């Protein structure tokens, strides 16, 4: 995986909407060699001043992570926040793959 970690991925979200991201992990800077994520558990969350939202993560080998935010998960966070995506390896090592600020716009229709 890249040496510059965590990678920066700022998010701009609209409160109450559903979101999904597809993240690919690579072993080289050119993104030609997929990272071997066998045995890895991905976890992601958004944390703000009012709480935290756990994002659903699903791993597809060798290197793809699907991250989802359900529309009904929004009760805990508002305003601005931060997020990250961490990989926990079977030997206990933790690697933060992506992180960044989260800007959340308030919804009008609830």
Q: Where are the domains of the chain?
A: 7-105
Instruction: Tell me if residue 106 falls in helix, strand or coil.
Output: coil
Is this model's pTM higher than 0.85 or not?
Answer: yes
pLDDT band at 30 (very low <50, low <70, confident <90, very high): very high
Instruction: Decide yes or no: CATH 3.10.20.520 for domain 7-105.
Output: no
Bridge-based pairing of strands 64-69 and 11-14 is unpaired
pLDDT band at 78 (very low <50, low <70, confident <90, very high): low
Give, in degrees to the nearest 5, the angle at Cα 31 between 27 and 35: 30
Asked if 70 and 18 count as a contact pair (C-beta separation under 8 A), the reply is: yes
H helix intervals, 4-90? none
Q: Percent of the chain scored above 90 by pLDDT?
A: 71
pLDDT at 48 over 90: no
Asked if 13 and 104 count as a contact pair (C-beta separation under 8 A), the reply is: yes
C-alpha–C-alpha distance, residues 21 and 43, integer Å: 13
């Amino acid at each position: 995986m890249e040496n510059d970690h965590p990678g920066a991925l700022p998010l701009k979200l609209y409160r109450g909407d559903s979101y999904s991201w597809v993240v690919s992990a690579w072993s080289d800077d050119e993104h030609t060699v997929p990272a071997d994520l066998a045995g890895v558990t991905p976890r992601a969350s958004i944390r703000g001043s009012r709480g935290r939202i756990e994002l659903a993560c699903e791993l597809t080998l060798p290197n793809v992570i699907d991250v989802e935010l359900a529309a009904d998960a929004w009760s805990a966070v508002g305003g601005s926040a931060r997020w990250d995506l961490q990989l926990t390896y079977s030997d206990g090592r933790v690697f933060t793959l992506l992180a960044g600020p989260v800007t959340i716009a308030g919804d009008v229709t609830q």
